[in-house]
Structure 1
Amino acid sequence: MSQPVQRVATQKLSERLIKNETLRYVFTTHFWGPVSNFGIPIAALSDLKKDPELISGSMTSALILYSAVFLRYSLAVTPKNYLLFGCHVVNFSAQATQGYRWLNYHYLGGNNVKN
């Protein structure tokens, strides 16, 4: 089978199998990109209970900037990617909390507090 014929056959098959708009969305990078990206905020949220001495200030700062940029990007693309926006809202919030914990521990006397 030649390349164009194979492509047309694959496209027709996928059109038959994926008629639902929601199902069609699940098979795009607009869905899987943010879903795979949710690992970063999930890791940050799980680290909120860990010792603040272990937090990397430079990495946390980089992740805050990264999420701030992609917050804007997710709404600038067409169509707007609200799933990516949500992912970066959660990540920005979690990283900002981690950043505060790092700042408190290293510069605001948080390391002197006994539990």
Structure 2
Amino acid sequence: MLWRALKELPLEGTHFRRQAPIGSYVVDFFCPAKRLIIELDGGHHNDDGTAEHDRERQLWLEREGYRVVRFWNSEVTADLSAVLERIYTELYGSRDAEAAPLKHLRRR
């Protein structure tokens, strides 16, 4: 559901990849131009072992310069509009900001 919505975002230059490899991890959704990672979590992410793994993974990604935003699966199904609004804010700084074309700059 979220993947379809991200592909339909009417924002020029906003490009998300799905199941993108970063280091030894695979992230759910990734916008290279903003180094923004979107993660979707199901109920099993409440388990102690899984939650600890998620924390370590997120800390590594953040040390590498990525921003990680997490949503519960139930948030996506209950209020997709609110989730998309949060993603827009992460991309452009505020809900009222004008969408500007994003360009992916490769790191060397």
Q: What is the TM-score normalised by the length of structure 1?
A: 0.28
The structure carrying a bigger strand percent of its residues is 2
Larger Rg computed on CA atoms: 1
The structure carrying a bigger helix percent of its residues is 1
Q: What is the TM-score normalised by the length of structure 2?
A: 0.29
